[in-house]
Amino acid sequence: MTLSGLQVLVVEDHGFQRRMALRLLTDLGVEQVHEAADGVAALALLERLSQPPDVVLVDLDMPGMDGVEFIGHVAQRRLARGVALVSAMDPALLNTVQTMARAYGLHMLKHLEKPLTADKLAALLLSYEQRQQAEPESTPVQLEPGEAELALARGRIEPWFQPQVEFANGKVIAVEALARMRREDGTIVGALDFVPLLERSNLAQALTDAMLDQGCRWQRYWRSHGLNVSLSVNVSPATLADPAIADHYQRIVTGHGIDPAQVMLEITEGSLLADAARGLGVLARLRLKGFGLSIDDFGTGYSSLAQLSQVPFTELKIDRGFVSDAPNHSRKRAVIEASLELARKLRLQVVAEGVETVDEWQLLAELGCGIAQGYLIARPVPGDELTDAIDRWRRPDA
Residue 366 has a CB neighbour count (10 Å cut-off) of 10
Phi-psi region of 305 (alpha: psi -120 to 50; beta: other; left: phi over 0): alpha
Stated as kind and residue range, the H or E segment containing 249 is helix 245-254
Specify whether the CB–CB gap between 177 and 229 falls below 8 A.
Answer: no
Dihedral sign of CA atoms 77, 106, 238, 216 in order: positive
Stated as kind and residue range, the H or E segment containing 247 is helix 245-254
CA 64 to chain centroid: 32
Specify whether the CB–CB gap between 36 and 13 falls below 8 A.
Answer: no
User: For residue 308, which of 354, 265, 339, 333 has the smallest C-alpha distance?
Assistant: 339
**Catalytic center residues:** 353
CA atoms within 13 A on the CB side of 84: 25
Average pLDDT over the chain reads 89
Backbone φ and ψ of 82, nearest 5°: -155, 150
Task: State the distance between the two ends of the chain, measured CA to CA, in whole angstroms.
Answer: 32
Q: pTM for the complete prediction?
A: 0.78
Residues 16/21/27/32 CA torsion (nearest 10 deg): -120
By three-state DSSP, how is residue 57 classified?
A: strand
Task: Encode pLDDT of 295-348 as tens digits.
Answer: 886 765 544 566 677 788 999 999 888 898 899 888 889 989 999 999 999 999
User: For residue 249, which of 285, 220, 198 has the smallest C-alpha distance?
Assistant: 285
Specify whether the CB–CB gap between 209 and 242 falls below 8 A.
Answer: no
pLDDT value, residue 368: 96
Residue ranges of domains in the chain, CATH in brackets:
3-134 (3.40.50.2300), 140-392 (3.20.20.450)
Task: Encode pLDDT of 192-249 as tens digits.
Answer: 889 989 988 999 999 999 999 999 999 999 999 999 999 999 998 778 888 899 999 9
